[in-house]
Chain A
Amino acid sequence: MLLASQAAQAADEAGTIKVSNGQVSVQRDAQQLPATVGTRIFTNDRVVTGADGSVGITLRDNTLLSAGPNSALDLNKFSFDSTTHAGTIDATVRRGTLSVISGKIAKATPEGVRFSAPGMTLGVRGTSFLIDAGQ
Chain B
Amino acid sequence: MLLFAAGLVGILYLGLTAQPTSTVVLLPDAEGRTGAVELHTPDASQSLNTPFASASSNARGAFVVQIENADQVRQRYAQTLAARPNPPVSFMLVFEFGSAVDIAPTFKPVLAQLLAAVATYPAPEITVIGHTDTVGSRKDNDALAIQRAGTVRDMLVEAGVDPSLIAIAGRGEREPAVPTADEVPLADNRRVEINLR
Contact = CB atoms under 8 A, between A and B. Distances in A.
A associates with B? yes
Interface of A: 16-19, 21, 37-38, 54-58, 62, 64-69, 71, 82-85, 93, 97-99, 101-102, 117-134
Given A21-B83, A68-B79, A119-B57, A128 B35 contact: yes
A97 B77 contact: yes
Pick from A68, A84, A120, A125 the residue with the most CB of B within 10 Å.
A120
B25 interface: yes
Nearest to A127: B35
Contacts of B27: 99, 127-130
B22 interface: yes
A127 B41 CA distance: 20
Nearest to A117: B22
Contacts of B40: 120-123
Interface string B150-177: 0000000000000000010111101000
Contacts of B172: 83
Interface residues of B, number: 50
Prevailing SS type, chain A contact patch: strand
B80 A130 contact: yes
Nearest to B20: A118
B190 to A, nearest CB: 17
Given A119-B61, A120-B41, A127-B34, A67 B80 contact: yes
Q: Which 5 A-B pairs have the closest CB atoms?
A: A127-B35, A68-B80, A118-B20, A117-B22, A82-B169
Interface stretch (B4-12, B92-100, B110-118, B122-130): B122-130
Contacts of A18: 85-86, 121-123
A37 B122 contact: yes
B83 A19 contact: yes
A122 B21 contact: no
A129 B35 CA distance: 9
A84 B39 CA distance: 27
8 contacts: A37-B123, A66-B81, A120-B39, A124-B35, A125-B35, A127-B36, A129-B27, A129-B48
B23 interface: yes
A120 B174 CA distance: 35
B149 to A, nearest CB: 10
A129 B37 contact: yes
B147 interface: no
A101 B85 CA distance: 10
A69 B39 CA distance: 24
Nearest to A52: B79
Contacts of A82: 127, 129, 167, 169
Given A37-B123, A58-B197, A128-B29, A64 B22 contact: no
B183 interface: no
Nearest to B18: A119
A58 B171 CA distance: 21
A39 B172 CA distance: 31
Contacts of A65: 85
A99 B80 contact: yes
